[in-house]
Amino acid sequence: MPQQAYAELETNFARIGRIRNALGILGWDKDVMMPPGAADSRAESIATLSVLCHDMMSAPIMGDLLAQAEVPSGSWQEANLREMRRAHIHATAVPSDLVEAASRATSHCEMAWRTARRDSDFASLLPLLTEVLDRTRDIAAAKGAALGLSPYDALLDQFDPGTRRTDIDPVFAELRRDLPGLIDAALAHQDRQPAPLPMAGTFPVARQEGLGRTVMTALGFDMARGRLDISIHPFCGGAEDDVRITTRYEQDDVLNALMGVVHETGHAVYEQGLPPDWRAQPVGQARGMSLHESQSLLMEMQIARSRPFMDWAAPLLRRTFDIAEDDPAWGAENIYRTVTRVRPGFIRVDADEVTYPAHILVRYDLETALIDGRMALRDLPEAFNAGIKALLGLTVPNDRLGCLQDIHWPSGSWGYFPTYTMGAILAAQLREAAFRDDPAIPQAIGRGDFAPLLAWLRPRIHAQGSRLSTPDIIRAATCAEPSTRAYRMHLRDRYCGQG
C-alpha cells in the first residue's frame, strides 16, 4: 500500500535521525570536552554509528518502500518524500566500508590537526590529510556517478542541495574582478575618517561568557534547549532540542568572541526554529549551508556590526566590564567604527566583510583543484600562501596562519567553503527585504529588541525547513530573484561611504 509504505519510511527516517542526534553530541564532545586519550575509542564509536546510519539508509527495503510510497500532491509529505529519495541516492552511492574508512580518517585527522595547527607543522598532518582527501575523492566519484554530477558538484550537493559550480563560478568571477577595487575604495574612505580609539583593557573570560549568554538570549536563543562552550574553532552543533554553540576567548579582545557568539547564534536560532511537526524527517532539516550561513551572517555582519546594534550593545559592554559611561572609546560610534574596520589579515574567521570573500576565493580555488586532481596536496601551503598574496597582498608567515587555520579539510568538509560567501550574499538580500517589509526593525534593534526581526525570519526561512529549494525560499521571502545586488550595495554603502 502506497500510504503504508510512506508511513514506514517516516518511522525509519526518524530512527536514523535519532542516531544522527547521538552522533551530533559525540562530535560536539570530541571537540569540546573529550580527553585526548579517548580519541581512538571515540573515532571507532563515531565510525560504528555512521555505518549504522548508512546501512539503515541504503538497506534494500528502503529502496522498495521509496518505489511504492505515494503521498498527496502539494503536501509537506510530498516534499519529505522527495528529500528521502535524495538522501537515499547519496547513501546508496557509497559502500559501507568507504563510509567507515572516511569516518575514521576524519576523526584521526581532526585530532592531529589541533597539534599541527598549534605547531604550524603541515608536514606532520600531510599523511593523515592525504587519507582524508583520498577518501573524499572516492566518495565524490561514487556520488557523482550516481547523481550524474562532477565529483566536486557531488560534494557541494551534500552541503547545499542543488547548488553547482555553474552557480558559483559566475558569482566568484564577479567578486574576483571587483574585489581589489572595492578593498582599495574601502581603505581610501577609511583613511579619510578618524581612526577608532583603541578599546584597551583586560576582559575576564567569565564576564565575556556572561555577556555572550545575554546577547544570545536577546537574539532569540533558547538556553533551555542549548548551551555555550569553548573550542579551538567556533561552531554550532549538537542535536534536536540540544543546540550547542562554541566560541574562543582572548582576554585583551572582547569583540572577537562576542561576534563569534553572534555568528553561531544565527545558526542556532535557525536550528531551534525548524518546524517541530516535521521533526526527525528530511523535510524538517535546514535547507542547506548557504541558507544556514545566511542566518549566521545576517546576525553577525548585517545586524551586530550595524550602528543600531551598537546603540544597545555599547551600554551593555560598559556595564559588563565596569567601564565609565563617558569613556569615548566605549561609545556606540567608536565601537561601530571598530567592528567595521577594514584591515586585510591572515585569519578567515577574523576577517572584515570587505576582505572576507578573498579568503573564500582562495580556498575554493584550492579545494576544487585538489578534488579534480589538478594539484598535489603537498603543494597546498605554497599555493595557499600565493593565493593570499595575490588577493590581499599579504605574505603568510607560517602554516598556522595559512592553510592549517581551518578545521574544514581535516574534518572532511570539502565543498563547504563557498557556502560562506553565497550565504553572505543571501544575508544582504534578506536584511534588505526584512527592513523594507517592517521599517521599525532597525529602531527595535537599537533597543535590543530582536523579536520583530525574528518574527520576519521564522515563517519565511526557519519554518520552511527543506520544503522548498534555497532559490525558492529566497524568492518567496524577498519577492525577488536571488542576486548579488543587495550585497554589493551593502558593501559600498557601509564601507565606501556611498550610502
- pLDDT tens, per residue, the chain with 499 residues: 899 999 999 999 999 999 999 999 999 999 999 999 999 999 999 999 999 999 999 999 999 999 999 999 999 999 999 999 999 999 999 999 999 999 999 999 999 999 999 999 999 999 999 999 999 999 999 999 999 999 999 999 999 999 999 999 999 999 999 999 999 999 999 999 999 999 999 999 999 999 999 999 999 999 999 999 999 889 999 999 999 999 999 999 999 999 999 999 999 999 999 999 999 999 999 999 999 999 999 999 999 999 999 999 999 999 999 999 999 999 999 999 999 999 999 999 999 999 999 999 999 999 999 999 999 999 999 999 999 999 999 999 999 999 999 999 999 999 999 999 999 999 999 999 999 999 999 999 999 999 999 999 999 999 999 999 999 999 999 999 999 999 999 999 999 987 5
Kindly state the cell numbers that stand for 197. 580609539
Distance, in Å, from the CA atom of 429 to the CA atom of 192, rounded to the nearest integer, reads 29
Catalytic residue among 264, 271, 300, 353: 264
Distance of CA 78 to the CA centre of its chain: 28
- Give the structural domain span for 51: 1-70
Q: Is residue 153 part of a domain?
A: no
Scored b (16 or more CB within 10 A) or e, 428-438 reads: bbbbbbbbeee
Q: Is residue 222 part of a domain?
A: no
The β-bridge partners of 247 are 230
pLDDT of residue 142: 98
Q: Is residue 38 part of a domain?
A: yes
Q: Consult the annotation and say whether 293 binds a ligand.
A: yes
Phi, psi of 63 (to 5 degrees): -65, -40
Q: Is residue 31 part of a domain?
A: yes
Pairing of strands 236-239, 226-230: unpaired
CA-wise closest residue to 227 among 8, 445, 29, 426: 29
Q: Is residue 116 part of a domain?
A: no
Q: Is residue 369 part of a domain?
A: no
Q: Is residue 3 part of a domain?
A: yes
CA-wise closest residue to 80 among 1, 140, 12: 12
Q: Is residue 425 part of a domain?
A: no
Edge to edge, the sheet with strand 242-247 lists 226-230, 242-247, 236-239
Distance, in Å, from the CA atom of 239 to the CA atom of 262, rounded to the nearest integer, reads 19
Tell me if 261 sits within 8 A of 215, measured CB to CB.
yes
Count the domains in the chain. Answer: 1
Q: Is 131 a catalytic residue?
A: no
Three-class DSSP category at 275: coil
Q: Consult the annotation and say whether 233 binds a ligand.
A: no
What is the DSSP secondary structure assignment for residue 52, as one 8-state letter? H
This prediction's pTM: 0.95
pLDDT of residue 499: 58
